[in-house]
Amino acid sequence: MSFQIGPFNIHMYGVMLALGALAAILVAYIEARRRGENPDHLFNMALIVIPLGVIGARLYHVIDQWSFYSANPGKIIGGEGLGIFGAVAGGLLGLIIYTGWKKLNLLRWCDILAPGLILAQGIGRWGNFFNQELYGYPTSLPWGIPIDPAHRLPGFEQYTHFHPLFLYESILDIAGFAFLMIAGRKLRDRLKNGDIMLLYFIWYGVVRFILEGFKIEVWTIGGIPTARWISGALVIGSAVVLWLRHRKKNTVVTGADGSAV
């Protein structure tokens, strides 16, 4: 879906992605100030993080849909379609480069960016609605969304209404944003640098692991959706790291003679 402004054709997909990016920067600005960091870094950081995030997102999507792009190589560059895991990986690489260059605390800046990132995902998913993509299996539920025949996947042409996966993820992403913002404030005396990013990985990993079961066509490894492999690894790995960082070590109290009390 698109609309015209003078000579420019504006795609709603791009509008939603832009709104998501702006929301992420605004939230990160607020978080940077709250944590006593210089928010001006955000605007310089964005020049590295956003392009690498877009490249990573596009690369993941192309690999995911390689059966299509191998037959249509001309659409690899400039086409629509992004993968969030690729965006996170590319953006993280950009953040590592910038914080290393400016001698900033990487984990602290990960925590500053994480809440805005998941909010941007929740907003950006509405771009899938306008493109009539990211829908699940056919459904007769009241909230099923109609998909035009031209956008129905092969084998499902006879169905009209499908699970709105974009909506499911959008709601859960925004809930995740609220959770991270509350956790960052309520638990600020107990959290360590990097914990908010770990909580983001756990939250989004669980969300994505569940929602992959609704998808019709997915990239699989060993018969299991690739996104589930990644999500499961993120959830388990992040939970283990979080536990190791906060486990209480047993303290042994000794008496005057050196024996344990």
Is the pTM value of this prediction over 0.85? Answer: yes
| Phi-psi category of residue 222: left, alpha or beta, with phi > 0 → left and psi -120 to 50 → alpha | left
Task: Give residue 1's pLDDT band: very low, low, confident or very high (50, 70, 90).
Answer: low
Does 108 show up as a binding residue in the annotation?
no
pLDDT of res. 182: 96
* Axis-axis angle for helices 106-124, 165-186 (nearest 10): 150
Domain range annotation of the chain: 2-37+104-246
Confirm if 125 and 170 have CB atoms less than 8 A apart: yes
For the stretch 36-87, pLDDT in tens is 999 999 989 999 999 999 899 888 888 877 777 777 777 777 666 778 889 9
Residue 258 has pLDDT above 80, yes or no: no
pLDDT more than 90, % of the chain: 61
Pairing mode, strands 220-221 and 224-225: antiparallel
- Rounded CA-CA distance 210/206 in Å is 6
For the stretch 86-135, pLDDT in tens is 999 999 999 999 999 999 999 999 999 999 999 999 999 998 888 888 89
Give the three-class secondary structure for 126.
helix
Q: Outline where DSSP puts E strands in the chain.
A: 2-5, 8-11, 145-146, 161-162, 220-221, 224-225
At which residue do the structure tokens 């996170």 appear?
88
- Rounded CA-CA distance 134/128 in Å is 6
Beta bridge partners of 2: 11
pLDDT of res. 27: 96
| DSSP secondary structure letters along 177-223 | HHHHHHHHHHTTTT--TTHHHHHHHHHHHHHHHHHGGGBSS--EETT
